[in-house]
Amino acid sequence: MKNIYNEILELSHGKGAGVLVTVVQKTGSGPADSGARMLVYPDGSILGTVGGGTIEKLAIEKATAMFKTHENCLEEFTMNESASDGTPTGMLCGGTATLFFEYFAPKNHIYIFGAGHVGKALVYHLRNLDYFVTVVDDRKEVLDKISGADEKISGSFETALENHDVAVNAYFVIATYQHKYDGLVLNRIYKSGWSPKYVGMVSSRSKQKILLDKLKAEVPDANLENCFIPVGLDIGGGSPDEIALSVIAEIQAVRYGKSGGYLRDKN
């Protein structure tokens, strides 16, 4: 059974989106006790309660609308026919309840396939950016050496995310230790309907053609506009840290709709 405090902690780390509704004040009679909490998720499902009845129904509707506005707010609900202030609920308990609505935004999610030198460097340089970083590798001893990732998944590259809710519009970086695994991951991303915003692979140009030809054969309708092979902006250098900086710069450019290049040359 889910614990609301554990779920709030997960949302505070940026793993998903949600709205926390808290009863901050109550006067008179009514079902909403001060301190009661309810989480509302983007699909309208809830965890916890702010008392049930019409006040909870209105709170869910308010919270659901916040997934578009992203604006926190404080709102008073009345449970008294004669009350002129506050949002009427139609309830006749006689009291009022003030609810605080707090929006939790999901971080941009990056999945890194490969915990080797480049994967480790990527995690290091991403640590101060607002990304939720998941690293996947089938070598537990290598994965254990990674520090700073939000999530580490040990298992086959081809099946590691089977039981996970993969984020929509996520960023994928493929940097495994064998070409065959690179191809498996690439094809799986486009076959799984994950709707990635960015797919990048550490690769040579000769390997690019081979892997893309295999992908097109398996997934003829794959949209490759968001596929970057070889990965990274052309900024020079070839060490793991330099490659990581190149990759992250490219991801940032895609995220913000930029083309890269020198700022001095921009109008």
User: Domains in the chain and their CATH numbers?
Assistant: 4-104 (no CATH), 108-259 (3.40.50.720)
DSSP tag of 201: E
C-alpha dihedral, 245 to 16 to 112 to 251, nearest 10°: -30
For 193-219, the pLDDT digits (tens) are 888 999 999 998 888 889 999 999 999
For 115-136, the pLDDT digits (tens) are 999 999 999 999 999 899 999 9
Give which of 207, 118, 165 is closest to 215, Cα–Cα: 207
pLDDT at position 167 over 90: no
- pLDDT for 126 equals 96
pLDDT at position 21 over 80: yes
- pLDDT for 1 equals 65
User: Are 62 and 75 a contacting pair, CB within 8 Å?
Assistant: yes
* DSSP string over 232-267: S-S----SHHHHHHHHHHHHHHHHTT---S-GGG--
pLDDT at position 60 over 90: yes
Helices (H) and strands (E) in the chain, counts: 7, 12
pLDDT at position 266 over 80: no
For 214-251, the pLDDT digits (tens) are 999 999 988 899 999 999 999 999 999 999 999 999 99
- pLDDT for 86 equals 73
pLDDT at position 18 over 70: yes
- pLDDT for 83 equals 53
167-170 CB contacts, 8 Å cutoff, 24+ apart: 167/106, 167/109, 167/132, 168/194, 168/195, 169/108, 169/195, 169/196, 169/197, 170/108, 170/109, 170/110, 170/111, 170/194, 170/196, 170/197
Strand partners, 201: 174
Q: What is the CA radius of gyration of the chain?
A: 24
Positive or negative: CA dihedral 254, 258, 128, 41: negative
Q: Which range among 89-93, 157-161, 185-189 has the greatest average pLDDT?
A: 185-189
pLDDT-based confidence at 51, cuts 50/70/90?
confident
Mean pLDDT across the chain, nearest whole number? 91
